Every structure is written in C-alpha cells, then in structure tokens.
Amino acid sequence: MTDFTASSAVRSDGRPATTALTPWLILASLSIAATMDAVNSTVLVVTRGHLMGGTHATQDEIAWVNMAYVAAKLAALPVAAWMMPRASSSHMLGGAVATLIATSLGCSTTDSVDLLVCWRAIQGAAGAVLLVVGQSLLFAIFPRSRQGIAQAIFAFATIMAPTTITPALQGWIADAHSSSWIFVANVPLGLTGLFSAFLSRDIGARARPLGRFDWAGGAALAVFTTCFVFVTQEGSRHNWFDEPEVVAYFAVGLAAALCFMASEFRLQGRGALVDFGVFRDEHFAFGFVVSFVAGCALFGSALIIPAFAIGVLEFTPAYAGLVLLPSGALVCIGLLAAGGLIDAKGLDPAKPIPLGILCLMAAMSLLSGSTSESGLQDLIPAIMLRGLGLGLLFVSLTLVTLRDLGPETVAQGVALFNVGRKMGGQIGIAWLSTTLDHQNAHNRMVLSHHLAPSDPALIERQDAVTNLLVSRGYSPEEAVSAATAVIQKSFAQQVATLSFNECFLAIALLFVAAAPVLIATKLILGRLMSRHSEHSQGQSV
C-alpha cells in the first residue's frame, strides 16, 4: 500500500481515481462504521440485566455472550493482518461490514442465548477485520503529515466511543425501548461502512498469492484466546484456581499458546499469521508494551465507573451511561489537540503521552474520594479529566507505535497493537474485579465490628430510625424490622463505596508501578537496536 493523494492516485485505465476529498470521505465513513465495533464491544456494560431477562439466561450463560465476542476478535486480528496483502482491501472491508449488519439483525431477533453467542462470535471476527483494514487504509491514503488528525478521528470511534458515548446510548435504549434495539442501531452505521468500501475499491489490490493458511496455528490461537478470555473474565467470580473449571481452561490455554508460538516461529517468512519482525522496530515494541498497560487502565476504568454508579449510587442503566458521556467532549479535544500539534507543529508524538497519563492518574485519584451520597455533578470533573487524558494518550501512542512501520508490515502492526491493548484490557478487568471482591470482603470484616449489638452508635442510630418510622405510621414491630434493614443497606453501601474507591486508587497507581518496567523496556530496546544497527553496519563493511 502506498500514500493515496489526489495527484498520484490513478485507476488502472489511466483515469483519475479520486479527488482530494476522497481520503477524508473514506476517513469519515470508516470512523462511523468503526463505531459498530464500539456498540458491540460494550453491549453488556449497562444492559446485562436486560439481556438476561430477554433470553432467560443464567449468569454463566450470559457471560458467554461477551466472551465469545472478545475471544473471536482476538483470534481474528492476526488473521485479518495476514489477509491484508493477499486480498482486496475493499472486498475485506465490505465483507466485514455486511457481516456485522447481518449478525446485528440476527442478535436483535433471537431470544436463544446459544444462538446469540454464535452471532456474537461472528461479530467479533468481523469487527477485527474492520479495525485492521480500516486503520491500515488510513496509513495508506494519508501522508505522514496528516496522520495525526486522521488517527485522532479514527481513535475516537475505535477507542473512545466504547468508553464514553455508547454506554450512555445503550442505557437509554435499554430503559426506553428494548435491548434488541442496541443491535439494530448497527444497521445505519453499517450502511455508511459499505460506502467506505466503495470509495476504497482501487486501494490495496491483491499483491501476492493467497498462499497456504496455517490452520494448525489458527486453531491453536482460537483455543488460546477462548481460554484466556474465560480465565480473565470468569476467574474472579469463581475464586480463580479454587475452581477446577478455571484450572482446566488455564492449562488448555497455556498449552495452546505454546503450540501457537511454536508454529509461528517455525513459519516465520513462510506465511506465518504473526510476523514477529515488526518487533524489530524499537518504537513499535515499546508502544506495544505501553498499549498493554494503557488498555488495562482504559477498559478497567470503563468497567468500574458504571459499576460504581449502578451498584452504589443506584443509578439506572441510562443514568449510569451518562456518567461517562460528558468526557466525550474532552476526549475529542485531547485527540484533536494532540493530533493537530503533531501534524501542524511537528510535535514529537511521544511528548503528549506523559501528560495524558498524569491526567488519567489525577482523575482516578479524584474518584477515589467518592461517597455513597455522590451525584453526577460530583463525578463529572474527574470523568472529564479522564477523558482529556485518554485523548492525549491514545492518538500519540498510536502514532509512536505504528507511524514508522513500512507498508508491508503496517497491517501486522495494527493487529498486534490492538491485540496488546485488548489483552491488557482483559487483564485490567480481571485485576479490578478481583481487587473489588477482596476489598469487599476485607472492608466488610473491618466495618462489621461497628455492628455489634452493644455498640452505642449502632443503638443510637437504630433508635433514631425506628422512632422516625413510628412517627410515619409504622407499628413498633414493623419499625424495628425496617430500621434493621435500613442500617444493613447503609452498611453494604459503605462497604462497596470503600471498595470502589480503592479500585479507583489502584488504577491511579498502576502507572506508578508500571513506570520502572516501561523505562527498563525502553532502555533494553534501545541497546538491542543499537547493537543490531552496529552489527548490520559491520556486515555491510
């Protein structure tokens, strides 16, 4: 793939293929189409209860609705990158979008949880193709001097929309209509995606024979991603390795990962699904590690904030979704500010990254002071600061990681960059879920000492609530029972509030703990690349 400009883009018959506006039309339509992935990836954030009721599914069954999607997406990302130099970009893009439309309609019309899981797995694979082809196309059609703005706009759809806009819209749809309408919302977005496939029909024609697909490696990858997602999503709920099923999934996943790595190393340069050569690029290797940590913070915070709003503050799904919505404007400002400065002023893409991390840490620190009486107005300042930090962080990180890759490796880079961020997100969700469970148990044990029947404060509180209820018409017996229930509910809220606050603080401290690892990685990579350069120069001499 090469740069796509108005002056150089020519059809095979000699007629001009595009105008100067075409790359921007492709960008706009691709970004709208990529929002389908945002809708699909967050469908259970605030609507889990609605889907459980609509499909009559248990907690274990409904979990697979999300796990199938994530596992298929992780497995399909390297496959999509393998296909990119071997197939037409427009055909891949059009096929992925059409599949997403079809599966969305399928999800909206079924009340069978098994069929829903199947549709979701196909959705995940199609979403992976859409992301890899879409972002690779942007590196092909925009010159280096416009990559900042282009990647900023695309990042809003692929990274920020799932954590800001879609939870609010999904909550509103679920409360006002039906959860099936969440999937139907993909249809108009998909039609825009078909338009982008039409516009890109002359880009990325097949460059090499399809070749032999590594079926053994692909199967091992699919088994590994399924086991990885199950362990990270369900491990906390089943108390990790105390549950034999988790142990079994972990063992099978580890074996599959080893088989996959062995297969890929054996096939390097001969059609491997993953080209490890991209890690020879120092910036990509470092960016991959940073994206892993950043994904942990991004998806972890996107999970824990609505959970706090619903579980402690007792917001409705729609209102809980609104908690993240105000940060959308700041996300956009951060993305465009970083991308604009990188393009217009030649700013080093690495420079906004520390500022973005500091904003994210400050936001999580502010949230760690929340109480059970907090309202939306108390949360908004921290949420907006988080949005600004994420905007500054991710467009810069994308450019640092991918901008120096050549046309022949950019699709591999895009796929692995997304794999790193997504796997980091899965581990972040597992880590925070486990932390929340442990802190709930610890705080309940500590605070339960204040519920001793002889505690003067408890007696005074119970008498006050009882007298208030009696004054409002309750009988003395009913008032005593109701007062006990009120105190128990207040106790549970205090326990949960403390636990969530400790999770918010843990996210803030994540980058502090990761900083030595990131610095060491940067230094090691610098030395390795320096030695490799010296060795190459010595051989040329």
Q: Who wins on pLDDT, 183 or 425?
A: 425
Please say if the pLDDT value at position 65 is more than 60. yes
Q: What is the predicted pLDDT for the residue at 374? A: 80
> In the predicted model, what is the mean pLDDT of the chain?
78
Q: What is the mean pLDDT of residues 339-361?
A: 84
Q: What is the predicted pLDDT for the residue at 10? A: 40
SS3 category, 255: helix
Residue 450 inside a domain? The answer is no
Listed residue (426, 400, 395) closest to 74, CA to CA = 426
Q: What is the predicted pLDDT for the residue at 160? A: 66
Q: What is the mean pLDDT of residues 7-13?
A: 40
pLDDT above 70: percentage of residues in the chain: 80
Residue 38 inside a domain? The answer is yes
Report residue 110's pLDDT band, with 50, 70 and 90 as the boundaries: confident
Confirm if 341 and 358 have CB atoms less than 8 A apart. Answer: no
434 burial via Cβ count (<10 Å: 0-12, 13-18, 19+): middle
Q: What is the predicted pLDDT for the residue at 302? A: 78
pLDDT digits (tens, 9 = 90+) for 201-258: 766 555 556 667 888 888 999 999 999 999 998 888 878 888 888 999 999 999 999 9
Residue 326 inside a domain? The answer is no
User: CA 172, CA 180: separation in Å to the nearest integer?
Assistant: 12
Q: What is the predicted pLDDT for the residue at 489? A: 77
Q: What is the predicted pLDDT for the residue at 525? A: 61
Residue 221 inside a domain? The answer is no
Residue 69 inside a domain? The answer is yes
Report residue 14's pLDDT band, with 50, 70 and 90 as the boundaries: very low
Q: What is the predicted pLDDT for the residue at 250? A: 93
The region of weakest confidence among 81-95, 375-389, 466-480 is 466-480
Q: What is the predicted pLDDT for the residue at 62? A: 75
Q: What is the predicted pLDDT for the residue at 141? A: 84
List the CATH number of the domain containing 194: 1.20.1250.20
Q: What is the predicted pLDDT for the residue at 21? A: 75
Per the structure, how many domains does the chain have? 1
Residue 25 inside a domain? The answer is yes
User: CA 406, CA 77: separation in Å to the nearest integer?
Assistant: 19
The region of weakest confidence among 43-57, 87-101, 229-243, 446-460 is 43-57
Q: What is the predicted pLDDT for the residue at 541? A: 46
Q: What is the mean pLDDT of residues 317-327?
A: 69
Residue 99 inside a domain? The answer is yes
User: CA 66, CA 120: separation in Å to the nearest integer?
Assistant: 7
Please say if the pLDDT value at position 5 is more than 70. no
Residue 40 inside a domain? The answer is yes
pTM value? Answer: 0.80
Report residue 167's pLDDT band, with 50, 70 and 90 as the boundaries: low
Q: Which two tokens stand for residue 296?
A: 């942990």
Backbone angles phi, psi at 247, to 5 degrees: -60, -45
Q: Which two tokens stand for residue 87?
A: 């197939």
The region of weakest confidence among 68-82, 397-411, 438-452 is 438-452
Domain of 64, in residue numbers:
1-8+20-152+175-212
Q: What is the predicted pLDDT for the residue at 297? A: 85
